[in-house]
Structure 1
Amino acid sequence: MAAPDIGSCLSAGIDGFKKNPVAHILAVVLIGVVGGVSAGILSGPMVVGYMRMIQKEERGEAVEFTDVFKGFDDFVPALLAVLLSSLIVSVGFMLCFVPGLLIIGLVPTAAYLVAAGEKDGINAIKRAFEAVKANLLGTVICSLVLSIVGSLGALLCGVGIFLTLPIGMIGFYHMARQITDGGPLAITRA
């Protein structure tokens, strides 16, 4: 498992966003709306679908913002991976902040593993934890940089978040891919 390259993750986020900004903006808006309406319950499948959309775009295939719904193909693993890993990170932040900071990369990595073919949400969390632990310092720094970049748009009356959040999320996809050496399986479905 390789340590994440912060520069390449950030560059990949910017380059990925430039390929199809409208699809990425609409996808992030959909994730926010569906996640908000469902009290976060459906965020997992939506994030997994977004990661599949990014993978599809990397293969040179045409993407649409509705690709975020592809995460519902693996509803239970996506739900478990994102919901439980988010809960673990939240508890970590409540325990004097530092434990949460150390495992901040757990959520995108677990989501990535499900998007890459892991059919067991709990196993995705275990594998994500091992990948984060093996690359602890690099993952923490990369996660912080991507989180800051993704949140910068909030400074512009909140509207800019639609431009910066996709960059951060695409960067998280690349970070997760790097620390897991590409995940459990190659993504073959569209």
Structure 2
Amino acid sequence: MTYPGGQYEEYPEQPGVPVRFSVSNAVSFGWQRFKGNPVPWVGATALFGILLGVVTGATGGFDDEADTAGLLTLSAVLTWLLTTLFWNVFTQAALAEVAGQRPSLNEFTKLKNLGPFLIASVVLGVLGVVAQPLVGSGNLLLSLIGVICAVAALVVAFLLQWTYLFIIDRELGAVEAMKSSLTAVRANLGPVLLLTVTLAALNILGALLCGLGLLVTIPVSVIAAAWAYRLLT
């Protein structure tokens, strides 16, 4: 199966690296690569969590509704931008791990293909942004529309989950990358769905451990997803 866009580097087979897809192989690969290079991953994930906490906590302590509304809007924009920037470097680092490299902490500061990345991030986030206020509107019809948007957002997020990987790995534009992700995920619907559910459960477990487990589960999940993407495409 071919996908639009430029060529990507062919990664040579590595001793001990599984070449057959299974959820256990994906998670095992993510864990082994993380275990062999934990410091930059934990450092970058911790920094992301700290900055995200600062941004989302910036709206506390304000009684004036106008000030609070303005800060909530600013907080949402900053959260989106921060998440997008970190996802950019996480995607690069995960693909490097799949290639057998060991990205250093310094490499988590380098951005790549930021324009298409930002455009894709906006498109992927639109349905979720629309759904939240509708669900909490108090109006039955609007709430129903909000629920539909929320479900649609989950389906879209699932089908387009490899968009960022295509942007970084094959240097595609946002639209091309989304089309490629849609094609690739649909062609591997069962395996990708099972992996997605497994990684989601893994991160829920990490969050339950006072959030500290996310320092491990997020890197493992990102690397596992990148491995699955490269193997299945």
2:132 is the counterpart of 1:63:
no
Kindly state the Cα deviation for residue 57 of structure 1 after the two structures are TM-superposed: 3.1
Distance 2:204 2:171 in 1: 29
Distance 2:175 2:52 in 1: 21
Q: TM-score if structure 2 supplies the norm length? A: 0.64
Q: TM-score if structure 1 supplies the norm length? A: 0.77
Task: Extract unaligned runs of 5+ from structure 1.
Answer: 182-190
* 2:212 counterpart SS class: coil
Percent of aligned pairs with the same residue?
26
Specify which of 21, 42, 47 is matched with residue 25 of structure 1: 42
Query: Which amino acid letter does the alignment assign opposite residue 59 of structure 1?
Result: A
2:90 is the counterpart of 1:50:
yes
Distance 1:96 1:124 in 2: 22
Matches within 5 A, 1:25-174: 25-33=42-50, 37=55, 38-70=78-110, 72-88=111-127, 94-95=147-148, 99-174=152-227
Task: Extract unaligned runs of 5+ from structure 2.
Answer: 2-19, 56-77, 132-145
Count residues in correspondence.
Answer: 178
- Alignment check: 8 A CA contact 1:52 1:115 kept: yes
User: Kindly tell me: are residues 58 and 133 of structure 1, through their superposed partners in 2, closer, same or farther at Cα, counting changes over 3 Å?
Assistant: closer
- Alignment check: 8 A CA contact 1:90 1:100 kept: no
Query: Which amino acid letter does the alignment assign opposite residue 25 of structure 1?
Result: V
* 2:81 counterpart SS class: coil
User: Kindly tell me: are residues 173 and 100 of structure 1, through their superposed partners in 2, closer, same or farther at Cα, counting changes over 3 Å?
Assistant: same
Q: Which has the larger radius of gyration?
A: 2
User: Kindly tell me: are residues 100 and 60 of structure 1, through their superposed partners in 2, closer, same or farther at Cα, counting changes over 3 Å?
Assistant: same
Let me know the Cα RMSD of the aligned residues. 2.9
Residue of structure 1 equivalent to 2:72: none
Distance 1:10 1:89 in 2: 28
User: Kindly tell me: are residues 32 and 12 of structure 1, through their superposed partners in 2, closer, same or farther at Cα, counting changes over 3 Å?
Assistant: same
Kindly state the Cα deviation for residue 40 of structure 1 after the two structures are TM-superposed: 1.3
Query: Which amino acid letter does the alignment assign opposite residue 79 of structure 1?
Result: L
Query: Which amino acid letter does the alignment assign opposite residue 78 of structure 1?
Result: F
User: Kindly tell me: are residues 25 and 94 of structure 1, through their superposed partners in 2, closer, same or farther at Cα, counting changes over 3 Å?
Assistant: farther
User: Kindly tell me: are residues 97 and 139 of structure 1, through their superposed partners in 2, closer, same or farther at Cα, counting changes over 3 Å?
Assistant: farther
2:31 is the counterpart of 1:14:
yes
Distance 1:108 1:30 in 2: 23
Kindly state the Cα deviation for residue 116 of structure 1 after the two structures are TM-superposed: 0.1
